[in-house]
Structure 1
């Protein structure tokens, strides 16, 4: 018998320590409901489940984003519903004014009401907001397109020298900073200019023009009061001779209106005797909003809402008193609207039967435009509702998968805890017995 090392007690102690640790681990799992509370519990499972958690939270937030998108659409659609009602009343007035049983005073009263209703449509378009963002005036988000007849004027003259590689010049379009770049890599036949509001650049391709023109080039950008959305880049072709360069638009560009004018001069390593061209913009379109409807990148949904004011897509007001409308016979009044922003606008003229009859066609087109926009918004809403349902299903299934990895089986773990707890109690009792064994040596010494 040995007394320096109580091997039985040491072995019992080790078993007690192991059982106590297992019991403590089971208690932690049972109290948290999680099978993985720390990386040591399951390193691979932790990594997989955390990735799943990121996806689940992303899906849940995407569902919230979609709900917000529906709220925005409902706000816009509600405003257009009222616009619809106003247009129906305006058409009713035009039909009434077409009847020659009315006196001049009768038509004057009808004209006054129609003019006020036109002002109200513009006011609704200007003031309808969601989360402080105007949504049916054409500039809901981003570089929306706007006023017609904006210009970009490019003038190339002699007398300026700057290496092409250093010819990047910054200027502002609608308050945003852009960079003008010369692209030497472009082929001569494909040389052109691209305006990209996404990357904030205006790029001009000039390869081989160096050999044809010379060694100096200067450009002046005047009346630069517009921008293009990245989804609708303006493309232009450049052709050149020994004495001139011409710029031709492939198609009519759309440019957004902006207050003020910008003028920038720059020079590159080319020589041109003359280069001058105006690019004129056409009527603008609406802005766009990007809805993040997925948990990952490149999972966006674009909501585009047109400018639904009287002067824009509805085309029931004009900027020239007594001017012609594009519908034959329709005229605008000589009295400016009571509610306008910026330059004066004028309502449709229904002062006589002929003008009132022509106004009916204009109002029919306006009603059709609102109907089309509301139908589009309804389609957006239906799509987002299905998106929300799909996101909910995906989140549910992914949560179930994550639960199988991360959550503890309570029944199984309770069984494990009971076992380790009993073993710990048994080990404690046996340790007491093992500690008593060395005392038997004392009997040998008596």
Structure 2
């Protein structure tokens, strides 16, 4: 009988101990808010949730990366806004210098301002940086690199003029910046000939010639260093007689190149949680030489005479177009990154919800479970006391 009573107490004690263990685990879950406090709670669930946590943190960091990249783009685009303003002022000055009411001294004063403005464009490009990374000086030039190729010539203005070219032209050194040649008739025909000037896009005179008005084909050879030594360019002009003194038009030399990819200098921004989820951003060289308003020797466009100033207007137009293209590209990238950030936020939110369902505790359910265990603890404790009292009944037999 005593043995049976002891077994009952031991059984009750075992049940009480098990309830205590379960209650302690339930308390851990309620106090931490986690269903999986340790690997033993759910080994597979722990492994899955840890992978999800890595993805979530990666997505959040990628979102911050994209925001930093937007800041970088805004820094570059803000600087180019000022470059645009400077180029517009330079164009205004070139138009002013092309007017023959100006004296040589007036044009020199205009030239002095243009020189300073060109230097300021260089300063902006050389000093604009984000987190010490230079942005506009060609150090982060992106994705598409130009190759040398053949050139063709086409008319830029004056509908009555038709221009063709023969042979390949190799533009070298400081000669034809942006590949533009402006031809200006500077005299009326005398003995069937008229004088013409040829200027590069800096407004520098690179050649002059007397052309017979009735000539339909004429070959001009330019000096070494301006167009490759000995290269000849043939212009076919339908009717020289329609080309009056003071008139000018511009020949544009266009490159025909196959684009190549060079990502060695591009900015790589990580916009995903995993390896390889990135995008390349390139910002072209925005210094004065790259824009075509300086040559390799550092000389700015020339407006010291009316013909040079006239040629320079087209050159500055080209520079403005280059800056506009670059700003437009940067704006498009910024818009893309804003959508990227929205997508990353959505993905992180959905993954967080999934991870929570695996890792986090259901508070209502766990509180119900803890309440049940608490009742069982109290009942088991009371029953253990009763089981311990049963052996005392043996003493009644001794009385």
For normalisation by structure 2, the TM-score amounts to: 0.69
Shift of 1:108: 1.2
Q: Is 1:308 aligned to residue 261 of structure 2?
A: no
- CA shift at 1:444, angstroms? 2.0
What is the CA-CA distance between 1:143 and the residue it aligns to?
11
Match of 1:318, SS state, is coil
Residue 296 of structure 2 corresponds to 319
Residues 49, 402 of structure 1: 8 Å contact kept: yes
Q: CA RMSD of the aligned region, Å?
A: 2.5
- Structure scoring higher RCO (CA < 8 A, sep ≥ 6) equals 2
Are the counterparts in 1 of residues 147 and 259 from structure 2 also a CA contact under 8 Å? no
**Which segments of structure 1 move beyond 3 Å, counting only runs of 4 or more?**
141-148, 251-254, 284-287
Which structure carries more helix by proportion? 2
Name the residue aligned to 1:330: none
Structure whose alpha-carbon radius of gyration is higher: 2
| Conserved 8 A contact 1:145-1:286 | no
Find the counterpart in structure 2 of residue 171 from structure 1: none
| Residues 1:116 and 2:116 aligned together | yes
Distance in 2 of aligned mates of 1:315 and 1:420: 83
Match status 1:436 vs 2:396: no
Q: Which runs of 5+ in 1 are unaligned?
A: 149-250, 255-283, 321-344
Counterparts of 2:145 and 2:311 in 1: how far apart (Å)? 29
Alpha-carbon deviation of 1:142? 9.7
Deviation track 1:259-313 (CA, whole Å, cap 9, x = no partner) reads xxxxxxxxxxxxxxxxxxxxxxxxx99931011100111111000110110012x
1:140 shift after superposition:
2.6
Matched length: 291
Contact 1:286 1:306 (C-alpha < 8 Å) held by counterparts: no
1:420 and 2:373 matched? yes
C-alpha deviation, 1:409, in angstroms: 0.8
Shift in Å, 1:118: 0.2
Q: Cα gap change, 1:141/1:113 in structure 2, threshold over 3 Å: closer, same or farther?
A: closer
- CA displacement at 1:4 relative to structure 2: 8.4
Check if 1:397 corresponds to 2:350: yes
Going from structure 1 to structure 2, the CA distance change for 1:143 and 1:376 (only over 3 Å counts) comes to: closer
Question: Cα distance, 1:41 vs. partner?
Answer: 0.8
Q: Is the 8 A contact 1:30 1:410 kept in 2?
A: yes
Q: Contact between 2:66 and 2:341, CA under 8 Å: does it hold in 1?
A: yes
For the structure 1 residues 442 and 141, does the alpha-carbon distance in structure 2 shift closer, same or farther, using more than 3 Å as the test?
farther
Q: Is the 8 A contact 1:91 1:364 kept in 2?
A: yes
Distance in structure 2 (CA, Å) of the matches to 1:141 and 1:34? 49
- Counterpart in the other structure of 2:311: 358
Secondary structure at 2:266's aligned position in 1?
strand
Unaligned runs of 5+ in 2: 149-256
User: Whole-Å Cα distance in 1 between the matches of residues 13 and 141 of structure 2?
Assistant: 71
Q: When the two structures are superposed, what TM-score results if normalisation uses the length of structure 1?
A: 0.62
Picking from 275, 279, 293, the partner of 1:297 is: 275
Post-superposition offset of 1:319: 2.4
Shift of 1:21: 1.1
- 1:100 Cα deviation after fit: 0.8
Cα distance in 1, alignment partners of residues 354 and 348 from structure 2: 10
State how far apart, in whole Å, the 2-side matches of 1:286 and 1:366 are: 26
Once residues 441 and 141 of structure 1 are traced to their aligned partners in structure 2, the CA distance between those partners, rounded to angstroms, is 98
Name the CA distance, whole Å, in 1 between partners of 2:294 and 2:268: 31
For residue 106 of structure 1, report the CA deviation from its aligned partner.
Answer: 1.4
What secondary structure, in the 3-state scheme, does the structure 1 residue paired with 2:373 have?
helix
Please give the alpha-carbon distance, in whole angstroms, between the structure 2 residues aligned to 1:82 and 1:253. 30
User: Do 2:141 and 2:285's aligned partners in 1 also have CA atoms closer than 8 Å?
Assistant: no
Measure the CA separation in 1 of the matches of 2:25 and 2:50.
Answer: 21
In 2, the alpha carbon distance for the partners of 1:101 and 1:16 equals 109
Residue 98 of structure 1: aligned partner: 98
Q: Deviation at 1:434?
A: 0.7
**Contact 1:138–1:144 (8 Å) recurs in 2:** no
1:69 matched residue in structure 2: 69
Alignment of 1:240-255 (within 5 A): none
Distance across 1 between alignment mates of 2:146 and 2:110 = 31
Corresponding residue of 1:140:
140
